[in-house]
Amino acid sequence: MELQITEDQKRAFADDGIVKLPDLINSKLLRELNECFDWSIAHPGPIASGKTDGENISFVDNGNPDAKPMYDDLILRVGFGGIAAQLWNSKYVGYFAEEIFWKKGKADPTFWHQDTAYQPWSGEHWCNLWIPLVSMSAEQSIQVIRKSHKGIQYDGTTFNPKNPTQSLWGAAAGFPRLPDISAESAADPDSWDIVSFDVVPGDVIVFHPHCLHRGGGTDTTLPERRNMVFRFFGDNAYYSDHLPKTKGMYDLKPIPTAAGGYLEDGDPYRPAYSIRAN
């Protein structure tokens, strides 16, 4: 993949937590990504959520162990790790996992959240490569609160449709409850600085996983929404002990390292199961 990241793009990611890289992916790679996407839909992993049949679909899969050989091979071949290395000026880039999003018919937007409310991550060198497989408007694609990657760690959401800001951890973590960004921005469009982009297949949006973000929904203007995410980490990426040890919706297990033992608070993030991507 032959793309030279510009200084403006580096600054946008560092300052805002999000940047658009237009025309990054060629038609051959797009075909392969669609084939991988279809395979993932046909072979859901153990933590997949949502159905894959019917008129209205909202399906998510994340880190499917059966898909790991396929996606590891893809990442080693296509050069996404080199893009992350340029954005961060990082010598090391590791690949975490894939995430698959498929919506069809009438599906609501994903609730606002930060990935760091669910994963033990800290540091500047994290990114989600968000890849659209269909064209989407700015409202339908990924939306991010500008500069929120430098801000507060909010509690996670339980993704309860009746209560979009219902706290995941509550008193066990003591994080501030998520604000109702959807309601507040509907009442006052200037209340939150929301960044989003029109996208077409071939574009890539890169954002920091600590950013407050949400994905759009589907309706008659976008009857099917297909996108995938690849997550990477670099030199300044660390294991963080900020999440509770209590069992619940997310049971966080110790993470083994390649050198033996387990990651501890402040350690460089180098899990034994992750591959180097650059």
pLDDT digits (tens, 9 = 90+) for 168-188: 999 999 999 999 999 999 999
pLDDT digits (tens, 9 = 90+) for 22-64: 999 999 999 999 999 999 999 999 999 999 999 999 999 999 9
Residue 153 CB burial class (10 angstroms; 0-12, 13-18, ≥19): middle
The answer for residues whose C-beta is within 8 angstroms of residue 230's C-beta and 6 or more apart is: 71, 75, 80, 95, 96, 97, 98, 128, 129, 131
- What was the pLDDT predicted at 220? 97
Domains and CATH numbers, the chain: 7-276 (2.60.120.620)
- What was the pLDDT predicted at 2? 67
Query: pTM of the predicted model, to two decimals?
Result: 0.97
Residues 2-15 as b/e (b if ≥16 CB within 10 A, e otherwise) read ebebeeebeebbbe
What pLDDT band is residue 3 in, cutting at 50, 70 and 90? confident
Cβ atoms < 10 Å from Cβ of 179:
17
